[in-house]
């Protein structure tokens, strides 16, 4: 556990005193007992690659708010435990946070597999709960104090793959067939279901529709079978390192599809961007953020500038384009609700979150009755003009252009996808 | 050529190449588990340790990942020999090697994984070999060097190991310790010394397998988990203490997985491959090339 108020707070306060501008120094220093925010976070295990960047973003937020006078004039303390990427650890962690640590507020760790096990404990204690990257978690619980920081929205089947298919159907000539390939996991089953639904809506022939198990090592036979089914477009749902394996296999088999991609989680991670390099060219990928001029909101650039040196020191994702913006927004939602309510009152916080919109580094947000975003924001982006394996090109606009939704569009689709050949 | 035949041939060839990686991963375990009767469940974790060290060294030196793993092998041999000494002192010597020994290697596995996360981070790491983006074509058959070179290197290393075990006095002593350690004492050979040497070799092979893994795919601290079931299945299917059997089983595993993935979908691959293991064990409980006790 790392409590900012114990060791870090002193350092943070000192750093703030040295670094914040004179105007900000005029803020009243936080005083009184800290507001403790508790959560589990995956700092080891398979989800740690995204859990650690999320924690860095939380720490940056905590430093920010403490340097601005704290929350309700009190310092903020983060109380978190490593869930080891194991859902079974999560109920115990939240029980301890609430019963022993007596935290004032709870948020979730990263991803559906960690959020869902926390729900029964959180619901029993009637805590307001802001989650991070959970897909459809509240569809079954229907908890009215749940709020999701995930752009997928509540109509996953109808909207998740909409961007991919809207882009595809705007091609000339229009595609007539689609291959659907997904990892056998909860998230990717949902996304593949959306692809099937939308393929039916667009009257596309599904020529390949298979899932692969998480233990897959060689993706060559899978891509070869997809190739043999001769689809016009290919929709893939995968996690790293599957994404790397699939794209490597696509390169080796010299694929040529009019459009290829989908929720391929992998190129979101900087190390994989650098490894794949030109293989990414013309790949259409679901994402949550891209450094394009159409998607710049107040605070985002500052966040990334503060995150990146910290990440370099702590061996976390170098660019931080994927999880950190949403993790920071998770805290901003909590902060704005507490400030508006003016006290720690779980019921009042939930009413506030349902009733108001939030200004965050990822743009304005509003929650629906299920706690999902009123306006889904599944971004479909395309890597273009990637040369070599340098990192600088991924910091710049134009390398990962936004194709969907139209309000954030920053480039035109390039086709076909040939895996860098 | 008939498209289905092309698919089948490519499925077999890619399966053989995948089998080469499996053989690299399993052969060290064949020594420790098959010959020395040490259930080293941490073997894939050592492989990943090597793979991540290779990635780290590659990023600073730019040397070929397989060459780097070869350079790491002596260090891993020392590591293995030291680990065996600890295992022998605290468990084997007391006759506690069955459950306690298994728990010991579980612990070693977790220590390696957590140590890797703390030192290198939970991120994926990779090492790009110069040939990794090249694919040879033989008519309709694709031979990606990303898979071919590690497979060929693994086969060469296994061949040298087989020669060592058959032709050298120490090699034959390693084979003998698997059968009757007391008989070895009659020849004035210290079986503990031989087992230490052999366990070091098994961990050195994990280092080589790590180099192969680094060429094939990016990896993180937990990448070894997907190999645990497979490598034990391969060693058992091939017949404990049979290097040849281990290689044949690894190649068969790769071919069955890839042909199944091609024609029936990847979800069926593990089920069919492990189903084959059950069938083999039903008819040959000692494995493909194992001898009845």
Residue B30's nearest CA partner among B286, B191, B234, B266 is: B234
pLDDT at A4: 43
Where residue B184 falls among pLDDT bands split at 50, 70, 90? confident
Sheet-wide strand order for A205-212: A205-212, A177-183, A233-237, A259-262, A284-287, A379-383, A400-404
Average pLDDT value for residue range A25-36: 78
Residue B150 has pLDDT above 80, yes or no: yes
- Which sign does the torsion angle of CA A64, A67, A70, A74 carry? positive
Where residue A172 falls among pLDDT bands split at 50, 70, 90? very high
Average pLDDT value for residue range B15-35: 94
User: Residue B259's closest chain A neighbor by CA?
Assistant: A221
A51 touches chain B (CB under 8 A): yes
A245 touches chain B (CB under 8 A): yes
Residue A239 has pLDDT above 90, yes or no: no
The pLDDT mean for chain B works out to 91
| For chain A, percent of residues with pLDDT exceeding 70 | 94
A41 touches chain B (CB under 8 A): no
pLDDT tens profile B41-70:
999 999 999 999 999 999 999 999 999 999
A211 touches chain B (CB under 8 A): yes
User: Residue A48's closest chain B neighbor by CA?
Assistant: B122
Where residue A24 falls among pLDDT bands split at 50, 70, 90? very low
DSSP category for residue A28: P
In DSSP notation, A321-343 reads -SHHHHHHHHHHHHHHHHHHH-S
Residue listed under structure tokens 């009184």? A32
pTM of the model: 0.87
Q: Which of A43-47, A351-355, B37-41, B171-175 has the highest mean pLDDT?
A: A351-355
A314 touches chain B (CB under 8 A): yes
B8: which residues sit within 8 A by CB, 6+ positions away? Answer: B259, B262, B263
A86: which residues sit within 8 A by CB, 6+ positions away? Answer: A45
A316: which residues sit within 8 A by CB, 6+ positions away? Answer: A52, A53, A56, A310, B121, B123
Four-point Cα dihedral B230, B232, B237, B242, nearest 10: 130
List chain B residues with CB under 8 Å of A225: 7, 261-263
pLDDT tens profile B64-107:
999 999 999 999 999 999 999 999 998 888 877 778 888 999 99
pLDDT tens profile A177-221:
999 999 998 889 999 999 999 999 999 999 999 999 988 999 999
In chain A, positions 71-90, which contact chain B (CB-CB < 8 Å)? none
Answer whether B121 sits within 8 Å of A215, measured CB to CB.
Answer: no
CA distances from A187 to A11, A15, A115 (A): 40, 40, 13
Average pLDDT value for residue range B106-115: 93
pLDDT at A2: 42
Q: What's the CA gap between A288 and A323, in Å, rounded?
A: 8
Distance of CA A406 to the CA centre of its chain: 20
pLDDT at A332: 97
Give me the total of CB pairs closer than 8 Å, taking one residue from chain A and one from chain B.
129
Q: Are A178 and A231 in contact (CB under 8 A)?
A: yes
> In Å, how far is B44's CA from the nearest CA of chain A?
14
Q: What's the CA gap between A334 and A349, in Å, rounded?
A: 8
Answer whether B220 sits within 8 Å of A46, measured CB to CB.
Answer: yes
Cis ω on the peptide bond leading into residue A3 (within 30° of 0)? no
> In Å, how far is B67's CA from the nearest CA of chain A?
20
pLDDT at B289: 83
pLDDT at B125: 87
Residue A36 has pLDDT above 50, yes or no: yes
> In Å, how far is A252's CA from the nearest CA of chain B?
6
B51 touches chain A (CB under 8 A): no
Residue B67's nearest CA partner among B215, B255, B270 is: B215
pLDDT at A7: 47
Q: Are strands A105-110 and A129-132 parallel, antiparallel or unpaired?
A: parallel
Report the range of poorest mean pLDDT among A135-144, B194-203, B247-256: A135-144
pLDDT at A82: 93
pLDDT at A9: 44
State the alpha helices, DSSP H only, in A89-204: 90-99, 112-124, 138-141, 156-159, 162-169, 186-201
Q: What's the CA gap between A251 and A181, in Å, rounded?
A: 17
CA distances from A203 to A21, A175, A197, A416, B113 (A): 59, 10, 10, 21, 48
pLDDT at A275: 86
Dig out the tokens for B216 from the structure. Answer: 């094939």
pLDDT tens profile B242-275:
899 999 999 999 999 999 999 999 999 989 989 9
Answer whether A211 sits within 8 Å of B147, measured CB to CB.
Answer: no
Q: A61 phi and psi, to 5 degrees?
A: -60, -45
pLDDT at B98: 72
User: Residue B129's closest chain A neighbor by CA?
Assistant: A275
Q: What's the CA gap between A410 and A396, in Å, rounded?
A: 13
pLDDT tens profile B5-15:
999 999 999 99
Residue listed under structure tokens 């003998």? B176
pLDDT at A23: 41
Decide: residue A418, CB within 10 A, 0-12 exposed, 13-18 middle, 19+ buried: middle
Q: What is the ipTM of this complex?
A: 0.89
User: Residue B121's closest chain A neighbor by CA?
Assistant: A315
pLDDT tens profile A374-416:
999 999 999 999 998 899 999 999 999 999 999 999 999 999 9
Where residue B293 falls among pLDDT bands split at 50, 70, 90? low
Q: Are B237 and B288 in contact (CB under 8 A)?
A: yes
Cis ω on the peptide bond leading into residue A405 (within 30° of 0)? yes
pLDDT at A27: 60
Average pLDDT value for residue range A274-285: 94
Cis ω on the peptide bond leading into residue B140 (within 30° of 0)? no
Residue A151 has pLDDT above 60, yes or no: yes
């Amino acid at each position: 556990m790392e409590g900012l108020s114990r060791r870090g707070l002193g350092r943070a306060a000192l750093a703030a005193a040295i670094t914040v501008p004179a105007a900000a120094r005029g803020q009243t220093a936080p005083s009184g007992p800290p507001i403790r925010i508790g959560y589990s976070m995956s700092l080891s295990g398979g989800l740690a690659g995204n859990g650690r960047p999320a924690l860095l973003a939380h720490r940056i937020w905590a430093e920010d708010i403490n340097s601005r006078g704290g929350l309700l004039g009190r310092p903020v303390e983060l109380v978190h435990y490593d869930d080891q990427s194991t859902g079974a650890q999560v109920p115990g962690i939240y029980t301890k946070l609430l019963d022993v640590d007596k935290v004032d507020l709870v948020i979730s760790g990263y991803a559906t597999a960690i959020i869902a096990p926390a729900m029964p404990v959180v619901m029993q204690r009637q805590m307001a709960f802001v989650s991070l990257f959970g897909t459809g978690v509240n569809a079954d619980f229907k908890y009215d104090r749940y709020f999701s920081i995930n752009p997928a929205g509540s109509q996953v089947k109808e909207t998740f793959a909409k961007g991919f298919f809207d882009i595809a159907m705007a091609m000339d000539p229009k595609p007539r067939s689609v291959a659907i390939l997904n990892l056998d996991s909860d998230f990717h089953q949902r996304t593949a279901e959306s692809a099937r639904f939308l393929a039916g809506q667009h009257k596309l022939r599904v020529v390949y529709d298979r899932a692969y198990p998480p233990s897959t090592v060689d993706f060559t036979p899978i891509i070869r079978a997809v190739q043999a089914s001769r689809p016009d477009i290919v929709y893939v749902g995968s996690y790293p390192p599957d994404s790397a394996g699939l794209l490597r296999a696509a390169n080796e088999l010299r694929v040529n599809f009019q459009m290829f991609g989908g929720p391929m989680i992998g190129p979101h991670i900087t190390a994989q961007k650098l490894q794949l390099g030109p293989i990414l060219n013309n790949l259409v990928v679901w994402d949550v953020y891209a450094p394009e001029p159409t998607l710049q909101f107040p605070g985002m650039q500052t966040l990334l500038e503060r995150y990146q040196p910290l990440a370099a020191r702590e061996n976390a994702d170098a660019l931080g384009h994927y999880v950190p913006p949403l993790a920071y927004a998770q805290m901003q939602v909590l902060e704005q609700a507490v400030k508006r309510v003016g006290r720690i009152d779980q019921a009042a916080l939930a009413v506030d979150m349902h009733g108001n919109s939030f200004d965050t580094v990822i743009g304005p947000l509003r929650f629906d009755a299920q706690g999902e975003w009123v306006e889904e924001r599944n971004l479909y982006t395309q890597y273009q003009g990637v040369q070599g394996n340098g990192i600088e090109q991924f910091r710049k606009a134009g390398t990962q252009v936004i194709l969907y939704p139209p309000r954030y569009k920053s480039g035109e689709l390039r086709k076909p996808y040939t895996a860098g050949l | 050529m008939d498209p289905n035949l092309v698919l089948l041939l490519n499925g077999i060839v890619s399966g053989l190449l995948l089998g080469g990686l499996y053989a690299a991963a399993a052969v060290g375990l064949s020594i420790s588990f098959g010959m020395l009767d040490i259930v080293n469940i941490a073997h894939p974790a050592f492989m990943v340790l090597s793979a991540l060290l290779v990635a780290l060294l590659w990023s600073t030196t730019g040397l070929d990942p397989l060459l780097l793993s070869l350079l790491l092998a002596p260090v891993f041999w020392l590591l293995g020999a030291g680990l065996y000494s600890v295992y022998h002192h605290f468990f084997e010597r007391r006759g506690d090697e069955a459950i306690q020994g298994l728990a010991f290697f579980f612990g070693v596995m977790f220590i390696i994984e957590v140590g890797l996360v703390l030192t290198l981070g939970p991120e994926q790491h990779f090492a790009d070999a110069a040939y990794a983006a090249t694919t040879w074509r033989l008519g309709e058959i694709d031979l990606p060097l990303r898979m071919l070179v590690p497979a060929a290197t693994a086969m060469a290393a296994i061949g040298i190991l087989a020669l060592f075990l058959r032709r050298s006095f120490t090699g034959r002593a390693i084979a003998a310790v698997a059968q009757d350690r007391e008989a070895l004492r009659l020849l004035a050979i210290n079986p503990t010394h031989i087992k230490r040497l052999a366990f070091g070799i098994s961990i050195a092979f994990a280092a080589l397998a790590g180099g192969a893994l680094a060429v094939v795919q990016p990896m993180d601290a937990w990448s070894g988990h997907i190999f645990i079931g497979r490598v034990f299945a391969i060693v058992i299917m091939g017949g404990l203490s049979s290097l040849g059997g281990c290689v044949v089983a690894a190649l068969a595993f790769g071919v069955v997985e890839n042909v199944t993935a091609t024609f029936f979908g990847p979800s069926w691959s593990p089920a069919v491959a492990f189903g084959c293991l059950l069938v083999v064990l039903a008819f040959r409980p000692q494995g493909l090339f194992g001898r009845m006790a």
